[in-house]
Amino acid sequence: MRAPVALLMVASLCLPTAAAAQMWGAQPGQTAAAPVRAQAGGAVFVAQPVGEFDEYVDVGFGLGGHVLLRLDPAGVIGLRVDGGFINYGRESKRVCLSQTVGCRILVDLVTSNDILFGTIGPQLAVPSGPVRPYVNGGIGLSYFATTSSVRGTSSSDDDFARTKNFDDVTLAWAAGGGLYIPLRIGSTTFAIDLGARYLLNGEVEYLREGGIEDHPDGSITLHPTRSDANLLVWNIGVSFGIPGGR
C-alpha cells in the first residue's frame, strides 16, 4: 500500500494575496481578526513504513497533535512541537479466562504494537494566501511498546488486566511539509492541514505481529526484531489560530 503523493502537489495552487489576508483565516473582503501568535491542531495519521521497516510491518494508523509558536510577527518562522501515537500491528484472539474457570467465561486477549513519539523543531511557512505551504523539521524521541490486555467479549467491556511485553526507545529526527488551507465558518477561523513527515527512528528493537510465541504450559517466548524503523507519516487534520495582542 502506498499513500498518494498527489496530496502535496496542491501546493502549486498557492496564490499571493494582500497583506490584509495575513490574519489566520482572514480573506479579502472579511474583517481581519487579531494577529495569530500561536497555532494548535490535531490530525489523523497514515504511517507508511519505508526501507527495512517495510519488510516487517504493514501500514499503521494513528492520531497526533501539534503546537506552533510564531517567532516573528508575519508568521514565517515558528517553533513547532509535535506528538503522536501510531499503531503498527494488532492481534486479537478469544481464550478461556483460566484453567480453573475453564471456558465458561471467555475473554478477548489483545496484543498491540505501538509507537509514541514527540519532536520539537523549526517551521517555515507562507503566512498568507488561500493555500499556505510550510516545511518543518525536528528532533525528539520515539518509544516502541508492545502491550497485551484482557477484556470481556462484549464491545462495551473495558480492559481489566494489562501487561507490557516489550519496549525500546530511540532518538528520532523528523522532516516534512504540507499545506494549510484557511477557512472560516461564522466567527470561527481554522485551517485544514494536509501534510507528510519523514520520521527517522534509525535502528531499534521491537515486536511485530507474531513476535510472541505461546507455549502449552502458559509461558511465552519473545522474538524481537532489530532493524531500522523509519516511517513516512501522512496526515490530515485541522489547525486553530491562537490570537495575541495587536
pTM of the model: 0.81
- Give the CA count within 13 Å in the CB-facing half-sphere of 94: 8
Q: If we measure between CA atoms, which residue out of 82, 197, 86, 227 comes closest to residue 145?
A: 86
Query: Cα separation of 210 and 224, whole Å?
Result: 10
Looking at residue 30, what is its pLDDT? 52
State the CB neighbour count (10 A cutoff) for residue 219: 8
Domain boundaries, the chain: 45-89+114-144+171-208+231-243
pLDDT along the chain (246 residues), means of 10: 41 34 47 74 98 96 97 93 97 82 83 98 95 98 96 74 94 97 89 97 96 88 96 97 72
Q: If we measure between CA atoms, which residue out of 226, 196, 221, 185 comes closest to residue 30?
A: 185
Non-local (6+) Cβ contacts of 199 within 8 A are 47, 117, 142, 172, 173, 174, 230, 231, 232, 233
Read off the pLDDT of residues 187-204 as tens digits, 9 standing for 90 and up.
Answer: 888 999 999 999 999 999
Q: If we measure between CA atoms, which residue out of 165, 72, 193 comes closest to residue 122?
A: 72
Looking at residue 246, what is its pLDDT? 54
Read off the pLDDT of residues 60-71 as tens digits, 9 standing for 90 and up.
Answer: 999 999 999 999
